[in-house]
Amino acid sequence: MSSIASSSSAAGGYRQGVRAAVAVAATVWFFGASFGLVARAAGMGVAAPLVLSATTFAGSAQFALTSILAGSGSAVAAIAAAVLLNARYAPISISVAPLFHGPRLRRLAESQLIVDESWALSSRGDGRFDRRLLIGAGLLLYAAWLSGTAVGVFAGKALGDPKALGLDGAFPALFLALLVPQLRSRKATLAALLGGAIALVLTPLTPPGVPIVAASAACLLGLRRDEEAA
Amino acid sequence: MSTVWLVVLVVGVATVALKATGPVLLGDRTLPEPVARVVSLLAPVLLAALVVTQTVGGDNELVLDARLAGVGAGAAAIAARAPLPAVVVVAAAATALVRLVA
């Protein structure tokens, strides 16, 4: 089986990406189920959590707005927190923009399959992305998130707690595994370290969501022309 | 309209727009060279930020918990050149184990 660090062949990387997408989809399904359960318990009813999962398709923002509504916070507070958390999708979607072709409406529809995990899995490690993996993993994760939400809304209590299964520790490890092959040049490594440092410093100081958006400023290192990818 | 539906609809529309930013506004247009160099660093930078926030992120605070063990075990699996699905499983197992014991 090919390793992550040496999966330079596109086909090997693609196959591994598909396998990884299945493992990640199982994890995402459990989180969707726990979202459905939490949202129902928070008094959001049946339809609203499903519509939210279908349109927003971003776990952290959905959990955040649910907890604010459950704590009888205002609509403005819930909206602000969720939009802030999803603001990272502006830079994320810009990074994969070249993969989208055709009429605007089609690009709009396909872009909704962008989610942290499908984006990360489709990364080829040289700053470029694989369209088939992004769309394929996106469809699989969308189905997992929506069906998980449905099961959670109707029968969530019968399922285990994703935290007891350690699933919240799986996501950062996945992102780390996908980060490592990106660090091919000194500049990319430097930018990643700077971005991570910005996120770490801002985490205790700002609302969730802000650290990731602020970290993207580290990309400006790319304006320096000195060294190309090794 | 109820508060719940107002929030669901506004957040839904805002997120659809955010995810469409790049694909709809830029599409397959070729970016100017300096901009392309900046954009090519988005992947490592955002992935690093995601690793940090998903490991120690909390609600306006740093939270050090079992997720650290998961990322540590995941890092060891990565160093041992384990395939991606194995990294995910090892990290989840380590997180669950530490949470069970602690």
Q: In this predicted structure, what is the pLDDT of residue A103?
A: 93
Testing the interface with A: which of B21, B31, B67, B84 to mutate, by most A Cβ within 10 A? B84
Position with higher pLDDT, A14 vs B81: B81
> What integer pLDDT is reported at residue A13 of this predicted model?
67
- pLDDT tens for A91-139 read 999 999 999 999 999 999 999 999 999 999 998 877 789 999 999 999 9
Spatial separation of the C-alpha atoms in residues A75 and A68, rounded to whole Å: 8
Asked if A193's CB is within 8 angstroms of B95's CB, the reply is no
Contact A100 B27 (CB under 8 A): yes
Compare CB distances from A177 to B26, B74, B99 and report the shortest one's residue.
B74
Q: Is pLDDT of A4 > 70?
A: no
Chain A contacts of B37, Cβ < 8 Å?
222-223, 225
Is the pLDDT at A161 greater than 80, yes or no? no
**From the CB of residue A155, how many other CB atoms can be counted at a distance below 10 Å?**
12
Tell me the nearest-neighbour CA distance from A142 into chain B, angstroms: 14
Label residue A14 exposed, middle or buried (CB < 10 Å: 0-12, 13-18, 19+).
Answer: middle
Nearest-CA distance A210 → chain B (Å) = 10
Report the DSSP beta bridge partners of residue B57.
B62
* pTM, 2 dp: 0.82
Average pLDDT, chain B: 91
In this complex, which of B15, B62, B67 lies closest to A89 when CB atoms are compared? B15
Q: What is the pLDDT of residue A11?
A: 65
Q: How many CB atoms neighbour CB A12 within 10 A?
A: 14
Residue A84, both tokens: 């802030």
- pLDDT score for A10: 60
Residues 12-31 of A with CB under 8 A from B: 16-17, 19-20, 22-24, 27
